[in-house]
Amino acid sequence: MHAETPTLTLKELAARLDRPFRGNPDLPLSGCATLSRAGPADLSFLANPRYRSDLEACQAGAVILREEDSEGYSRGAIISPDPYLDYARGAANFDPSGHFVPGVHQSAVVGENVTLGEGCWIGANSVLEPGVTIGRNVFIGAGCVVGPGCVVGDNSRLTAQVTLVGRVRLGKRVIIHPGAVLGADGFGLARDADGWVKVPQLGGVELGDDCEIGANTTIDCGALDNTTLENDVRLDNQIQVGHNVYIGAHTAIAGCVAIAGSARIGRNCMVAGGAGFAGHIKVADGVTVTAMTMVTHDIKEPGGTYSSGIPFQPASTWRRNVARLRNLDQLARRLLKLEKDSQ
């Protein structure tokens, strides 16, 4: 059950951010809003110079902004070299999802040998199956299922309708959004003369600390070893992570990406929406993959940006280009023959 969002003074918030401030130190702040909509109890920020004109009429109690943008601004201000980053840290203090009253809803089902840490909330119609271990200050929202043998680390949050099928281990401060499924069987099949034979998926799923998993994202369990996400991996909505995939720390992946089984993605990578990764490939650290790119072989060099998606164009132009593409091999052969004949 969520509790009321706390109120912080300007001085208290600036201290938490370790930034200098200007204005009334006792000014109460209890929420966040944009520059154009903020009121006297709201925190706002100015990171993009295009919104500098909104600052003149802004009624926010306090604004996080750079030193050069604070000149002539008479209301409360927190001075920051990176306003957007400090806003993210400051706004977390006013996020109601981070504040809740501990307890177990009367409709929740808690199985045998469940270890439940102090300060937890177990929401309506949630199920904790036998042998589950829940850390301290964990929020499990309505309709979640935590399967047998799963471990949820301290200060984690399963928002609602999250399913941990089994053999899933979450680190500390993990956030999982509605509809996500972790630990379902990977797509493992062997072929015989009569059809398909299912390969048992006997591994688990392991997430490090500070990971975040978006709505309706699926992370399959490993066939033998675990599917693993290191610390601070951030996955957007509707991503498919196949069995035995390994994703390095601090990598962020946008929506609708598909990662086939046993792919290994390095640390500090960024992957844009709709990209795809073939199975068993390796991607080095610090790589950026742009939207709709299909990665079909190893990327061995750290850093760098890779693309293969084709930007849209008028349909008539696209049809003509596709028609010519069908003849590309024939044209290439003719060109090679002409070059050979001219030598």
Q: Work out the pLDDT band at 35, boundaries 50, 70, 90.
A: very high
Instruction: Give CA–CA dist 174/150, Å, rounded.
Output: 14
Amino acid present at 80: S
pLDDT computed for residue 3 by the predictor:
61
Instruction: Give CA–CA dist 204/80, Å, rounded.
Output: 42
The full set of domain ranges for the chain reads: 8-98, 162-306, 315-343
Active-site amino acid positions: 243
pLDDT per position as a tens digit, 279-316: 999 999 999 999 999 999 999 999 999 999 888 899 99
Q: Token pair 């996500």 is at which residue?
A: 180
DSSP string over 235-258 = E-SS-EE-TT-EE-TT-EE-TT-E
pLDDT per position as a tens digit, 222-270: 999 999 999 999 999 999 999 999 999 999 999 999 999 999 999 999 9
Note the CATH architecture for domain 162-306. Answer: 3 Solenoid (2.160)
pLDDT per position as a tens digit, 205-227: 999 999 999 999 999 999 999 99
Taking 90 as the threshold, does the pLDDT of residue 115 lie above it? yes
Candidates 256, 291, 302, 295; CA nearest to 278 is 295
Round the CA-based radius of gyration of the chain to a whole number and report it.
26
Element (H, E) at 234: strand 234-235
Instruction: Give CA–CA dist 127/158, Å, rounded.
Output: 12
More confident call, 6 vs 319: 319
Instruction: Give CA–CA dist 46/52, Å, rounded.
Output: 7
CATH of 8-98, one of 3.20.20.150, 3.40.1390.10, 1.10.1740.10, 2.40.50.100: 3.40.1390.10
- Facing residues of 331 across strands? none
